[in-house]
Structure 1
């Protein structure tokens, strides 16, 4: 196991190096000139050169690449081109807000939707299965934006049960997050339950299920013990791969509820042409996905003994 972990960590290094190089080239050689975007088309050559030197954009590409790698290793991405704030502090504060927004409904929703999917799969072919499938398909057909606008208008504006926007640190954030949590739970319910139901139904066709029934195991025991354990690999894959998105936040929710998460920071950076923000968050997302892929492979061994990591 240790050898496998070391090998996977070493394999991530070329991926991160490649992503960093591609991101640097895209934002310094292909995209618009950030100096021109900051100063405008009527800036003097002296002002342009001074700002270009301040942002290290006058250096060769290789030197800029080494500077970028140092920023990644030290988590010090410099300053925002527009506000002058330290990006490390901005990212940390944004990640804190995004995690408060996304983690509770994600993991709570996983447990709730997993339980519902098991129940539906257990009663497959019944009226419970048919009506629930129709309900979740209908829910998936409604736009995310529609949920946000309806819940904000009805529960926040008309009934006044929740604040419509804002954010505070600590426990003071809960009143501002309840409505976004509810919206996230409802939006994620349909896709997750349909995915989990499909996984469980695929497992019911396996040979070990027939063997378990032949040995006299009851249907609940087969479903909740044998099938549940073997169905965990695709469920683990889905869960762990989604973790980087929790850090990235929910763009629409953060934007419409004025929550200062990383998603809102990224959108603002794109709108303002703030390339350090875009570069930093792009690399952080790539690193997060790479690490989560590695964690997924390691967890496979604990769920399915047939997986041989040392081979």
Structure 2
């Protein structure tokens, strides 16, 4: 128990230093390196008087250390203020957009990883066969094609011609949103599978040739038991590493999908914030993404000790 407390304290100090660095970098980028936001917001014909008034309204005329303190404070209080574009509280916008994004990305994340694990384990029996080579080559080709191609083909063929799904749009409510998220989810599952299959295949092939696997097969255990009980258990660490790395992208990782399908999630929020020069929203997105990454790294370290007792914190 003491080791766990010391580890969490050490990681907390590490997270604190990372957040100070992230907030300072964000502050420097958006307050010192970027053009005067009042000029961007008011346009090139803005008068000095109007720019000074807006600068005072936004608090940009205060000393830099007070402005940085506000950014640093927001990382720990989650009080990001209001959006310059919509005037709504940023945290409220995040809550609404985050739930919408998760309706697409979370099913794709769960289905995609389950399919990856199952197919990769099963295909270890067919290494070097025509089916194995076709699957590898197919994934290489498909992962080399831009996501825009899949989106346009899906919208034209499945939505416009076959009319199986709506081309774009979104409705709130579980049953109401289902027709709108099926096609984006299928595309995300397909892309996730193609991008990650070769990695999963490699780690599983490295494991199936270990001595304990040959021993299990020599004892007469069925191939399903060998693969899904023994092999799967021993490759959980690299799988967890991949899952933890991908988890923060559930909120901000579907920018292109949300934009083309008209889904009002956080991906669209990021695009709107950039196009409207909504700096408070962009700062909040950067800080929250950093916090999610730190939290997932700590959670991943704790999960390693559960799946592999040999790993110590």
Question: Is TM more than 0.5 here?
Answer: yes
Find 1:30's aligned residue among 30, 33, 40: 33
Report the Cα offset of residue 79 of structure 1. 1.7
RMSD, aligned α-carbons: 1.7
Moved more, 203-212 or 32-41: 203-212
Asked if the contact 1:87/1:277 (under 8 Å) is kept, the reply is yes
1:103 — aligned with what? 106
Task: Give the 3-state SS of the residue equivalent to 1:237 in structure 2.
Answer: helix
Find 1:180's aligned residue among 181, 184, 206: 184
From the superposition, tell whether residues 211 and 10 of structure 1 become closer, same or farther in structure 2 (CA, over 3 Å). farther
Report the Cα offset of residue 308 of structure 1. 0.9
Report the Cα offset of residue 151 of structure 1. 0.7
Q: What 5-or-longer segments of structure 1 have no aligned partner? A: none
Find 1:143's aligned residue among 136, 146, 168: 146
1:267 — aligned with what? 271
Find 1:117's aligned residue among 116, 120, 124: 120
Report the Cα offset of residue 218 of structure 1. 5.3
Write out the 4+ residue segments of structure 1 that deviate beyond 4 Å after TM superposition.
210-220
The separation in 1 between residues aligned to 2:12 and 2:129, in whole angstroms, is 47
Report the Cα offset of residue 3 of structure 1. 3.0
Structure 2 residue 229 is the aligned partner of structure 1 residue 225 = yes
Q: What 5-or-longer segments of structure 2 have no aligned partner? A: none
Structure 2 residue 42 is the aligned partner of structure 1 residue 45 = no
Structure 2 residue 59 is the aligned partner of structure 1 residue 56 = yes
The separation in 2 between residues aligned to 1:105 and 1:261, in whole angstroms, is 15
Asked if the contact 2:19/2:75 (under 8 Å) is kept, the reply is no
Structure 2 residue 252 is the aligned partner of structure 1 residue 248 = yes
The separation in 2 between residues aligned to 1:253 and 1:216, in whole angstroms, is 47
Asked if the contact 1:269/1:278 (under 8 Å) is kept, the reply is yes
Task: Give the 3-state SS of the residue equivalent to 1:116 in structure 2.
Answer: helix
The separation in 1 between residues aligned to 2:241 and 2:103, in whole angstroms, is 23
The separation in 2 between residues aligned to 1:117 and 1:167, in whole angstroms, is 34
Task: Give the 3-state SS of the residue equivalent to 1:163 in structure 2.
Answer: coil
Asked if the contact 2:105/2:254 (under 8 Å) is kept, the reply is yes
Task: Give the 3-state SS of the residue equivalent to 2:107 in structure 1.
Answer: helix
The separation in 2 between residues aligned to 1:144 and 1:45, in whole angstroms, is 44
Moved more, 26-35 or 72-81: 72-81
Report the Cα offset of residue 215 of structure 1. 5.9
Alignment length, in residue pairs?
A: 309
1:165 — aligned with what? 168
Moved more, 180-189 or 75-84: 75-84
Asked if the contact 1:199/1:231 (under 8 Å) is kept, the reply is yes
Report the Cα offset of residue 294 of structure 1. 0.8
1:7 — aligned with what? 10
1:282 — aligned with what? 286
